[in-house]
Structures are given as structure tokens and as C-alpha cells.
Structure 1
Amino acid sequence: MLELQHLGKRFGERVALDDVSFRVAPGRLTGFVGGNGAGKTTTMRIVLGVLGADTGTVTLDGHPLGTADRRSFGYMPEERGLYPKMRVLEQTVYLARLHGWSPAAARRNAEELLDRLGLAERHDDPVESLSLGNQQRAQIAAALVHRPEVLVLDEPFSGLDPIAVETVQSVLSDAADSGARVLFSSHQLDIVERICDDLVIIAGGRIRAAGSGDELRAEHGSERWELLTDGDAGWVRELPGIVVTDFDGGWARFEADSDAARRAVLAEALRRGEVAGFTREHTTLAQIFKEVVQ
């Protein structure tokens, strides 16, 4: 378990982090989301030892992180961090060698990883000749090539097309399945919601919500329902225990304060005519994000 406990960080008068605490479990993908300046990158740099925290601790399996622990970490910064004139395979092998891999094992692992990431035909190309999306894939390979125990990625899906997103997702999931603790930040809430096991939302340097998707929906999501009828659904607004949030002709989205109130809506709709749809609305991460940061 990678655990952050009560982290605090100031830059002059500006409070960057205020009592930040959360966990990154092995075998699970943890998404770290927040707006620009929320504190994501500062938090990740403290985990990596690039910055020191003013207060709080970061522990791995119960002991404070040290230099030896961080040698087993993998990191991908949001900014381009590779040597632009080195060839893709050469650079990936070089980074694996820096982590102690033998020449043969480093090359074997680098080739396998680059091929999985769709760079099989680009092994001998200089990094600077790659498209932005392929440079992003190469950076992910660089972070993963030594098979890290902890993987920290800053905006790994930036600039990737949907097919590349699925490829990277598969690679990260395999890393998690092998026991790695995987933490990544992203502004793409739909991707985070789709692939992550756990979510952490930060705003203004403070953690606003943390847990699995189901836990966040149970704690912060609204119980919304949608009704579609063949007539005018304006009558839904008159029922006790019901708050209509959207309405258009025979369609209504509403919140019910109890199961009895919800069932009353359906019963009344059936009494009045044909019901084409009556479904529970799935609360999205974007909706939860707006609720907890506002």
C-alpha cells in the first residue's frame, strides 16, 4: 500500500496542499482528478521525492519512503521528458539498464512493451520524429520498462486517440494485475471513470472525495430517475417527495426522497397511459466532481 498521510505544502503565501491523505492499493488503478492548480502535480512530486512536504508523510507498506524505494518507481511527467534525438528502442533499453536490468533482459522487455504500445515499426526512429501521440506512448514505455512497483503518471492519456487509450489502459491494467500501485492524473473524467478502480478528487489543495466508483456514487451521487410517457409528464411535479430537475413534454428527470415516492410516480404514469421508459440515471464522475468541488 502506498499511503499519503496529512501532506501539507506551501509556496510562499500560497497553500498548495492542505492535509492531503489517500491510499493507492496494489493491483488497482487509482485516478487522481482535479482542475488546473488543484495540487495533483505537487502531490505526485512529493511522492517521487522531487519536492519535500512541509508536513505529513508518504509510506510504502507501512514504512517511510527512502531513496531505495523510489528506485523501483516509474514516473511519466506531463511534459515531454525523453531525449529527442535518441532512437525509441535505444532510449527505452537505456532507461531499463539504469534500473539495473541486464542488456539482454532490458532489450527483451523494451521490445515487448513498445510492440504492445503500437510502436513496433518505430524502434529505430528518433523520438523527435514521432507524432505527439506516439511520443506519449514512448514516454509510457519509458516509465514501465523496468517493471516498477509504484507507477505515477501525469496525464498519460493526453493526445491519444480512442484506440491508443484502450491500448494504454490494457498495459496499465496488466501492471496493476502484477501488483504495482498505479496512480495517474487526468482531466479526461470519462476515461478515469471507465478504467479506474479507485478515484481521488482534489480541489484547492484539499481532498474532496476518495474511494471506489460505487463508494463515491453512494456518498455523493443523487438518486435520479427518468420517466418517458406518451403524454404530458407535468403532473410529476405535483407528487409529494418528488423534485423534478428536468422536464420536456412526456419526459421528466426527477429525484425521489424514498422508494415509496418513486413507486408512486410509476403507478401514476401507468394509470394515465403508456410508459415508454422508467430508468435509474447513472451518476457520472463529472457530476460528482462538480458537486464536491463547488
Structure 2
Amino acid sequence: MDFPHITGSLGLFLGIYLQESSHFLHRILPLRNTIHNRISYILYLGLILELCSIIVLPLSTYVLLSSSHIAIFKHILIKDEKRKYSNAETFGSMCIFSSYIIVMLFGGTQFKVTQESFRQLFDLYYYLYTFSSLICTLVLRRLGYFAGRIIVETGIPAQISSFAVAGMKIFWICADVFSKAEDGLYMILALVVSIGVLAMANGFVNELGKEHDMVIVMGGYYLWNICYSLPLSMFVSAGVGHSLVNYCAVGIGCLLVIPGIFLHSFRKIEYLKAYKENKYQQARSYDFVV
């Protein structure tokens, strides 16, 4: 537990809250509105805070803490619907925020990266495997194997975003390690790739959100994000110090956040199934009366 780690975690939480609040206000306000444009600045501020938190947070910590997006999104949604939390939603939020506190206080520590430890950033075999698996996933989707299976489809943007998160981490490390202009090529390349890939992943999520319930999309996305990005954090580990306590905190945080996401999103699937079944029964009874 150190001050930069806690500061970065709190900055990440503030950035997530600003982003989710802005997304919600964008949906309810008309376009081409002065207030609508100002809200965009709040969204950008939140995004900057989230990306800058990667400077002081180990990648494993960032991946787990960023899963609080779904809990904050659900909190804003429940307030808008003017209803109370269900038991599942209450327990899900408790799991996610308990995980946040544990990982924030006892997660790993990001130290200054030296040029000697910079080599730890690159494990070509893992990146080759990740890239080839992404291509395989996209080909299978193109062939129609994922049609209509939203939980499976959300794995694609999560897999894409793992590149963006790793690229952003490498960008900040390059900015810290290299001072010569000719060495800045690594930094620029990492920044361009991470921003482009992150925009691609967010666009994918937004398109899925237009076709399916956004809570379910976010739930599947962040579950797959843990699956892809948490192992990646073991490879992008330059300058990261982990003790047994840190590993235990990450493990406990992972065991808490996964059921928390599940309770928020997959209970929504059950609700939608029950709602469709009820509408179907009403339609059948109406046809019988006629």
C-alpha cells in the first residue's frame, strides 16, 4: 500500500464516474445542444483520468478496478428508473466495491522502470498467440458461429481492448524510460496503436449496445476483459513489485469482482427472458379471446 497507488485508484474511480455520468446524460439530452457539448468535455476529462491512472497502477490492478464501470453504470441507471436495488444488485455492488478497496489497498506496486527491466515488456510468443487467437475469433464470427450469442460476441471487443490497455501501459513506460528523440518511436507507436485499438473496441461495444441490453453487453465485456487482460498483466510487468500479500489481494479481488459482474448482468438476462415469456403468453391469450 503506497500513496501513488491509492491516488491512482481514486483518480480512476473519479474518471469512471465522470464517463458513465456523461454517457447517461448524452442519451437523455438532445444533440447539438450547448449543454450536450459541455458534457463531452466531462467525458474526455474522465477518459484522461482513467488513462493517466495507468501510469501509477500495475496493469493487474487497473484491469480489476476498471470493472467497476458496470456497478457505477447500474447505479446511475437505477437512480434514473427511480427504483430500489434488488438483492442481487446490492450484493453484486458490494462484491465489486469490496474488490476495489482490497486491490486498491493491497495490490501490487509500480516502481520506476529502468532500461534494463524494459525488456520485460515484450514477450513475443504471448503477443503472437493473442493476435492469432483474435484473428481466429473474428473469422469464426464472420462465418456466423457467434450469431445471436451476445455473451460470446462481447469477447471480441474485450480481446481487442487488451491490446489497447497493454499499448497504453507501454506508452507511459516508454515516456518515463526514454529521453532521446530517436527512442521516442516506441512511445509514439504504442500511443497510436493503443488509441486506435481502444476506439475500435469502444465502437464494437456501442454497436452491440444498440442491438442488446447495455447491462448485459457490459457484463460480458468486463468478464472477458478479466479473462484476456489479467493474464496479459503478468507479461507487461516491467517495474512492478508483487509480494505474497499483493498476489493474494489480486486473487481475492478477482474472486469478488466476477460474481459481482455476474449478479448485475446475468440476472438481467433472466429478467428479459421472463419479460419475453410473459409478453408471449399475453399475446397467445389475446389470440384465443379473438
Structures share fold, TM-score greater than 0.5: no
What is the TM-score of this pair, normalised by structure 2? 0.24
Larger helix share, 1 or 2: 2
Q: Which has the larger radius of gyration?
A: 1
Greater strand percent: which structure? 1
